[in-house]
Chains A and B, each alone.
Chain A
Amino acid sequence: MTPKIRIRGLHKSFGDNVVLDELDLDIEAGQSVVVIGGSGSGKSVLLKCILGLLTPEAGSIQVDGEEVVRMNARDLERVRRKFGMLFQNSALFDSLPVWENVAFGLIQGERMERAAAKKIAIEKLAAVGLKPEVGELSPAELSGGMRKRVGLARAIATAPEIIFFDEPTTGLDPIMGDVINDLIVKCVRQLGATALSITHDMASARKIADRMAMLYQGKIIWQGPVAEIDSSGNAHVDQFIHGRAEGPIEMQVRAI
């Protein structure tokens, strides 16, 4: 069976800094894959390459068997309709009220009537535990946790086939982080969507993943079912999941 997303030999660099180096990854339909890795390891770059926001120098990215690298703008727009994305800082549009943020993909992308789109937006807000009154607020009036929920509501509003989560729990307290994790699991299951998340929060990763993959020095150095992460036999993975300073992953710090 063709994977939902198939990545082969992906290479992306910024000047002399190679961020993704011959990266291979398959994501099966309906699966929730979490890519873990340290800060600056290229996780966000990987998501942006799949979405066509960044163009890799080499390699192939196929979505439903369709090559998206260097795809023309019109086809890329069509493929992007399959995606929903929750951004790290939610990336809500400041100039629009909350309900219009949630309904944005319906109004602009699917040309739905504003009244109908607003109704769906209120339903999606309810699905992430927010009252209809929140829909009339401006994003600037929301707390961090509420912004994440609104971002999640926007990501699922168009019932996408694939949802990306970029550091979904970063900046939240542990309880709110867990609430967001539960919502992610619930929404992905309800939609039957394929999910790709990137995080360095292991509690979050364990909760939302079916499979995990670890990105290190531009390559996927280990991948497997979430249950096997503790017995991966990979020293890099062990160091990362236990958050140890000592190990094969060296941080570039100088003595004071």
Chain B
Amino acid sequence: MPILQPLGRTFLLFLQATGRIVLFTSTSVSHCVRPPIYPRLIGRQMIEIGYYSLPVVGLTAIFTGMVLALQSYTGFARFSAESAIPNVVVVSITRELGPVLAGLMVAGRVGAAMAAEIGTMRVTEQIDALDTLATNPFKYLVAPRLIAGLTMLPILVLIADIIGVFGGYVVSSYKLGFNPATYLKNTMDFVEPQDVISGLVKAGVFGFLVTLMGCYHGYNSRGGAQGVGAATTNAVVSASILILCFNYFITELFFAR
């Protein structure tokens, strides 16, 4: 059956790619927990991922919070439920929008940069040079990035949560006529630790996925500038898709009854 042949080939290629990613992940994780650890490199990556992503994540969060308050108001006013706006804003930001949007922004900024940097190192033989200098590239290049992604994204998301809620507060208080004190009280009364914790768990997973995809595609890039370009695109696309998929499964894990 000629129609089944390409389908089967695609499926086999998918399995092959999945196997490669699983092997890459297990090797990377094993190097994260075995000495030697490189604190200087981990610190550098933490600054790169956490500190330098702060402006873009902060801007995304504040405008998301503002739009959320505005949209909720226009929708909820139809059935006189405007008072629920603080609750909607805080739950949406902490559970979903904070981690997902921060993850996607970091995928675009950090994942792409990692794939480009490691990909360039691959095609210019710098990774081979690491090997010949008796330095394991997984330990030196991949592990510090994974550790930094895993630890810094939850911190970024925590800050994004606060900024996002602040955005909703500003619009609600100064444009929609809410009492600022009541808005804040409603927000604090309604939000539960599980809302924030689920968002932080998601952030940790997304940070791991973004850095993993950046490293994987960069490490396996081939063929000069074109290969590095393809690696960068693949890193962002695959990280974004994985973020959306894992977002569902983690939500299911935390909130499905």
Contact = CB atoms under 8 A, between A and B. Distances in A.
A83 B129 CA distance: 11
A87 B125 contact: yes
B134 interface: yes
Given A73-B136, A77-B136, A53 B129 contact: no
Question: In which size bucket is the chain A interface?
Answer: 20 to 34
Contacts of B129: 85, 87, 91-93
Interface string B165-178: 00000000000000
A87 B126 CA distance: 9
Nearest to B117: A95
B132 A51 contact: yes
B134 A93 contact: no
B133 interface: yes
User: Chain B contact residues: over half helix, strand or loop, or mixed?
Assistant: helix
Interface in A83-100: 83-85, 87-89, 91-95
Tell me which of A73, A95, A108 has the highest count of chain B C-beta atoms within 10 A of its own C-beta. A108
Question: In which size bucket is the chain B interface?
Answer: 10 to 19
B192 interface: no
Contacts of A80: 131-134
B24 interface: no
A55 to B, nearest CB: 13
A53 B139 CA distance: 16
B179 interface: no
Contact of B135 (A48, A53, A89, A109): A109
Contacts of B134: 77-78, 80-81, 105, 108-109
A104 interface: yes
A114 to B, nearest CB: 10
B140 interface: yes
Contacts of A93: 121, 126, 129
A51 B131 contact: yes
B125 A108 contact: no
A77 B130 CA distance: 11
Contact of B132 (A73, A83, A88, A92): A83
Contacts of A91: 124-126, 128-129
Contacts of B125: 87-89, 91
A104 B133 contact: yes
27 contacts: A48-B128, A51-B132, A53-B131, A77-B134, A80-B133, A80-B134, A81-B134, A83-B132, A84-B132, A85-B132, A87-B129, A88-B125, A89-B125, A91-B124, A91-B126, A93-B126, A93-B129, A104-B133, A104-B135, A108-B134, A108-B135, A108-B140, A109-B134, A109-B135, A111-B36, A154-B133, A164-B132
Given A51-B132, A53-B131, A80-B131, 8 more contacts: A51-B128, A77-B136, A87-B125, A91-B126, A92-B129, A93-B129, A95-B117, A108-B133
Q: List the 8 closest A-B pairs by CB distance, nearest first.
A: A91-B125, A91-B129, A109-B134, A105-B133, A85-B132, A108-B135, A80-B134, A81-B134
